[in-house]
Structure 1
Amino acid sequence: MTDPSRPETEVEAAWTRVWRTLLIRGVILVIVVAVLGMGIGWLVSGTPGLVGGAVGGGLAAVFIIVTLVIMYFGRNMGLTAIAGFLGMGFLFKAFIFMIVIWRIKDATWLDGTVAFFTIVIAVIGSSLVEALTVVKGRVPYVDPEAK
């Protein structure tokens, strides 16, 4: 962790900006996926569709939270460490995706088709938000102020 008595370096400030940008974009993604998934699900199949859309929105939130936690704790570890942790996070999210699909495949309380498509959109959307945020982050590789 950082020492509160020393000022934040340029690289640390850049990672903080990337993290905040990911947080804002992630919240927007979760709201859009949840509202559209639940709305379209309700129009298509009533209450089971609404619940299916909610499951997809919740999964989008879980995916964004996993990435935010990884980036928050890894921001001072260097670019290679963050890339490794984000790769492990991707595998963890794929595992969560498989478990959720396996658990809800025979659920009668939700529309499986709405849930599936909402979850797929959540997966693709969270991956796009994460990739675009990190790529456009402009974080320097070398921190001359670091000691």
Structure 2
Amino acid sequence: MTDESPRQETYVEAAWARVWKTMLVRGVILVVAVAVLGMGIGYLVSGTEGFNGGAVGGGLAAVFIIVTLVIMYAGRNMGLTAIAGFLGIGFLFKAFIFMIVIWRIKDADWLDGNVAFLTIVVAVIGSSLVEAMTVVKGRVPYVDPDAK
């Protein structure tokens, strides 16, 4: 006979869920802050083109946070060291995306390149800080006594 009782979440799985939710909340706050401030300051500095530049930076901030969330979700059962390694690889992937976006928009007439560049740099640094703070402050034990 099979056991019909629902599987209970272990302490480590619950800790990873808390870390992932924390990353999600901090990521959403970062994306909203970068987008709103980038578009607002961009509009004040150079009108519609600045607004568009801020929107590009806010969009890239969202992409960066989504990459991080996917890495953390996929690696949730691999341990903190593996996730830190994957986040390092994710940082390189984000740097590659950053270079491609800068290369593609460098001559765009529909946005202010300076506003876009600065907003994207803030998005890159902000997402890296959010990742680092979340991983460092995440309290996930190495050993799961409930695991079978």
Larger radius of gyration: 2
How far off its partner does 1:81 sit? Answer: 2.2
Q: 2:98 aligns to what? A: 97
Q: How does 1:61-72 map to 2 (within 5 A)?
A: 61-72=62-73
Q: Percent identity?
A: 85
Q: Per-residue deviation at 1:84?
A: 2.1
| Aligned Cα root-mean-square deviation (Å) | 1.2
Which consecutive residues of structure 2, in runs of 5 or more, have no partner in the other structure?
Answer: none
Instruction: Indicate the larger mover: 7-16 or 50-59.
Output: 7-16
Q: Please give the per-residue CA displacement for 1:87-114, whole angstroms capped at 9, x wherever unaligned.
A: 2111111110110011111111100000
Partner of 1:114: 115
Alignment length, in residue pairs? 144
- Partner SS, residue 139 of structure 2: coil
Corresponding residue for residue 51 of structure 2: 50
What amino acid maps onto 2:51 in structure 1?
Answer: L
Q: Give, in whole Å, the separation in 1 of the partners of 2:85 and 2:129.
A: 18
Aligned to 1:31: 32
Alpha-carbon distance between aligned partners in 2 of 1:77 and 1:39, rounded to the nearest angstrom: 41
Q: What amino acid sits opposite 2:86 in the alignment?
A: F
| Aligned counterparts of 2:50 and 2:20: Cα–Cα separation in 1 | 33
Question: TM-score, with normalisation over the residues of structure 1?
Answer: 0.94
Secondary structure at the residue paired with 1:138? coil
Give, in angstroms, the shift of residue 137 of structure 1. Answer: 0.8
Note the residue ranges of structure 1 that are not aligned, 5 or more in a row. Answer: none
SS in structure 1 of the partner of residue 42 of structure 2:
helix
Aligned mates of 1:91, 1:6 — CA distance in 2: 37
Distance 1:39 1:51 in 2: 10
